[in-house]
Structure 1
């Protein structure tokens, strides 16, 4: 992005979060499957800043550990809790004097990158801040303006008069300014307020008093939605989920009830997909075209091919599902599962590190772990692969067109070749050749004259 000056971002994430009533730092509570701070960092990252700086305090070690993979973040510790202005001052010494600084709150997760870009663009020669008009005003700072409409200051609600509390325009906490100017203004901020803290917002009044240009950029409800307690966390979650549902519907997906969909990560869907109620998507999930996901499913870090049908209450984790495959109901696909086209996984079938070729059917009550099954094979009900010997895992290999009879026990390591048959009830421990029949069960004996225990007991009773 072309700018006259470089951009550096300061994210304030040092708050104690006492109203959350939690041992977990507030910044690590989740919305949409990601920490609050993660949303803010991602939005700021879209602007491609020269530096991304986060000021931490309460729970600093845990917060840094949670984002250890983010090599683009520079961390600053606020050792004493003296307010938002004091927090910003901790990071400013590391900022280039000729940079533009964008200051964000780490607990406002739904901020939009396009709004941040407009705020930065408005701070070329003075201050810019994001304001909003919202219905719920409680706890929010009010924007004061002069008779001619110029911004003259921000008053925090706890310091506001009744007249000031009636103002409908609020401060979102997002502010941008030239670094040198922001440093000067913060140096003049005092702590003469109800909290006895150094408010970042006081720089707006100081700038107005100096006659410095102040531009107000209109944001929306999402920029104003900070998270300070569990109720606000739930509100942010619902905003996030509704936005994801709107995105999917605009792209051609039918959602049975947008209020009963949860996306805890990122979902990409093709056209003409259908998602029923109470479905949860976690991590990175991709649906092809014409995919049907029925009620109550949980799908995590998976790829689902065109025309696949996921039936109710199936759990899919780390799997790749081929085109036109049918899963469930009540199926469980664990990490490492790879299904070809038109595969049928039925009720109460579990797979793990299993590769099933095109047209394979496992319709009921089976466990297939560490297995490779060739195309068009059939796995009967009650079949299990015994993949663990108490020390190591071993693989079962089944060729193409094989038939595994009901209640078979396949003891790995094992190879069953193409078109082989396994008789029902067999325990198979050695290789089965191509087109061979394996029978691994005891011969049936019918014992005549046998008496059930109840009859034997009756004969022993005294007359």
Structure 2
């Protein structure tokens, strides 16, 4: 079994992004591009992943955490110099090392696995990942010999007219015999216009030593796109969105308008879910079978059970049960638990609350810091008054309670099982089970007063 390693180049600042955020931390479909690269490498079960960091090193380390080891490139002196920084961690290792740029978020584990396999099957010491493009301007061209083997890589500025017509390009991703890589890096020179040490020079050194150099062509050129500016970032975002949506549709999810649907890379969706236009699913979100999301709903880091419906609403960091109906225009804020068969209606806001099975909060209400039991009806315009300006307090509503419209429940307060709270009440004391609670001013009618008042106004 050959040991396999990876080096991720993520030290550059990315000045063309024109951003205070370092290039590899710019998100694609909600996830930093370097995280996409690391996630794909982790799927290969490598023995070691090393990320070369420079600008924004601490932020990159914080993002990747224990998924990678790190080496700092204090000066940006080229790709060869960057890889050389991993010498202390890899130079004495036997095996194969893949070098990949941290700004290639579309590269897949499948293509990287194919690159590894091709490298080993051909007993190569260096294998270059190439691809075919319609517009190769700006890329190094792959020149092959009569046996279709890699003869050389020619940079555009050095290419002949015939070589400029070549459509196969160098993607900047490589597979190396580890020993060959670090021995060759010791001989790479910076005798060029930029005064930098270039990783592709290892190829010429290997060939001069009689080592076999191969080229493997990626089928999908979109995978190899490097992100250097906001235009490329938007292109990657679009391509990633298309890839994710296509995969979900192939797995049995109905997406009515894929161009108007945004699904993050870590979202899980069961078969027979319908996603309507304008919906956004982000983070670690899971949608149960037969549910309907949208139109124009946003769900972030949440779980939605089976056969639930979320319409024109937002759900953040919460757990929603099965056969739940939310919306339109509801807001489920973090740390909420909405159990099975619950209805959350239009213009209802729920925050850090538990609502048990078969209860209803149908419209125009605020439920914050509350525990609501089973089969509770919360009338229109009801509010749990949970905040005194400094502290938050709990409202507890037990099973089978009926809360009338326009009720204020001033926490901390408990409404006992089976109780009824009359409409228009302001409750600041506990209500016993099975009791009727009325807390409103006595109605007074003054006959003919309106007639007298209007006469005074005239």
TM-score using structure 1 length: 0.93
The aligned residue for residue 189 of structure 2 is 190
Q: Work out whether residues 123 and 178 of structure 1, in 8 Å CA contact, stay in contact via their aligned partners in 2.
A: no
Distance 1:89 1:386 in 2: 62
Q: Does 1:372 align with 2:371?
A: yes
Structure 1 position 193, deviation (Å): 4.2
The aligned residue for residue 63 of structure 2 is 66
| Equivalent residues in 2 for 1:212-227, closer than 5 Å | 212-219=211-218, 220-227=220-227
| Equivalent residues in 2 for 1:26-175, closer than 5 Å | 26-67=23-64, 70-95=65-90, 96-124=92-120, 125=123, 126-175=125-174
Q: Work out whether residues 332 and 350 of structure 1, in 8 Å CA contact, stay in contact via their aligned partners in 2.
A: yes
Distance 2:87 2:159 in 1: 29
Q: Work out whether residues 35 and 63 of structure 2, in 8 Å CA contact, stay in contact via their aligned partners in 1.
A: no
Aligned residues between the structures: 452
Distance 2:384 2:66 in 1: 43
Distance 1:72 1:234 in 2: 27
The aligned residue for residue 290 of structure 1 is 290
Query: Is the partner of 1:284 in helix, strand or coil?
Result: coil
Q: Work out whether residues 152 and 205 of structure 1, in 8 Å CA contact, stay in contact via their aligned partners in 2.
A: no
Distance 1:427 1:265 in 2: 47
Structure 1 position 289, deviation (Å): 0.9
CA offsets 1:97-131 (integer angstroms, 9 cap, x no match): 32321111100011111221222234444111211
Distance change >3 Å, CA 437–CA 26, structure 1 → 2: same
Distance change >3 Å, CA 281–CA 18, structure 1 → 2: same
The aligned residue for residue 324 of structure 1 is 323
The aligned residue for residue 461 of structure 1 is none
Distance 1:445 1:279 in 2: 51
Q: Work out whether residues 154 and 202 of structure 1, in 8 Å CA contact, stay in contact via their aligned partners in 2.
A: no
Query: Is the partner of 1:183 in helix, strand or coil?
Result: helix
Distance 1:26 1:455 in 2: 74
Distance 2:74 2:315 in 1: 45
Distance 1:41 1:383 in 2: 48
**417-426 vs 201-210, greater mean Cα deviation:** 201-210
Structure 1 position 454, deviation (Å): 6.2
Query: Is the partner of 1:111 in helix, strand or coil?
Result: coil
Distance change >3 Å, CA 406–CA 120, structure 1 → 2: same
Structure 1 position 251, deviation (Å): 1.0
Structure 1 position 455, deviation (Å): 4.5
Query: Is the partner of 1:196 in helix, strand or coil?
Result: coil
Distance 2:173 2:397 in 1: 60
TM-score using structure 2 length: 0.94
Structure 1 position 421, deviation (Å): 0.7
Distance change >3 Å, CA 283–CA 391, structure 1 → 2: same
**56-65 vs 445-454, greater mean Cα deviation:** 445-454
CA offsets 1:312-364 (integer angstroms, 9 cap, x no match): 2x010112111111000000001121112211101110001211111111111
The aligned residue for residue 270 of structure 1 is 270
Query: Is the partner of 1:336 in helix, strand or coil?
Result: coil
Query: Is the partner of 2:284 in helix, strand or coil?
Result: strand
What are structure 2's unaligned runs of at least 5 residues? Answer: none
Query: Is the partner of 1:266 in helix, strand or coil?
Result: coil
Q: Work out whether residues 208 and 214 of structure 1, in 8 Å CA contact, stay in contact via their aligned partners in 2.
A: yes
Q: Work out whether residues 127 and 176 of structure 1, in 8 Å CA contact, stay in contact via their aligned partners in 2.
A: yes
Structure 1 position 170, deviation (Å): 1.1
Distance change >3 Å, CA 225–CA 448, structure 1 → 2: same
